[in-house]
């Protein structure tokens, strides 16, 4: 059974003409149903924050000179950083798949001008193929194969 929520959690600013039911937490919250996936998706923001701070650290090292940049590159070669980067890559792939593929398929309009979108079952593979192609292009450019 659902547990009671805070008594003032859903209280209106001024009393209405009818009484409202007491606020209750959802039955399966926080580990049942889809809640765990929602929480994990929201928690990816901490990884994005850390990566953004790392980018700022890298920009600062670039501005500080070649010695600071080389010291930063040495510190980033530590196995902990490499493991974190691998974990970050997996998180980005999961979050990108969840957001771009699953959500985009549900958010397609019924009609765009005179054109109808492809069937809902075809949207995830199409977005997946585009995403893989864009990722391959980025990898090729970063690898230095394509200038």
Interval 5-17 mean pLDDT: 74
Angle ∠(108,111,117) on CA atoms, nearest 5: 60
What b-and-e string marks burial along 47-68, b requiring 16 or more CB atoms within 10 Å of the CB? eeeeeeebeeeeeebeeeeeee
Helix 35-64 to helix 79-96 angle, to the nearest 10 degrees?
A: 130
For 24-55, write each residue's pLDDT tens digit: 777 877 777 788 888 888 899 999 999 999 99
Helices (H), 1-113: 35-64, 66-76, 79-96, 104-106
What is this structure's pTM? 0.61
């Amino acid at each position: 059974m659902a547990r009671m929520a805070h008594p003032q959690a859903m209280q209106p600013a001024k009393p209405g003409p009818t009484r409202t039911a007491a606020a209750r937490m959802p039955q399966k919250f926080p580990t049942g149903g889809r809640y765990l996936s929602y929480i994990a998706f929201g928690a990816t923001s901490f990884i994005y924050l850390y990566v953004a701070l790392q980018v700022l650290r890298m920009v600062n090292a670039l501005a500080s000179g070649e010695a600071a940049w080389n010291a930063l590159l040495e510190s980033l070669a530590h196995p902990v950083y490499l493991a974190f980067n691998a974990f970050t890559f997996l998180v980005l792939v999961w979050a990108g798949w969840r957001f771009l593929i699953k959500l985009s398929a549900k958010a397609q309009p019924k009609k765009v001008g005179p054109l109808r979108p492809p069937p809902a079952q075809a949207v995830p593979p199409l977005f997946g193929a585009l995403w893989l192609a864009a990722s391959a292009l980025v990898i090729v450019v970063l690898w230095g194969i394509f200038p």
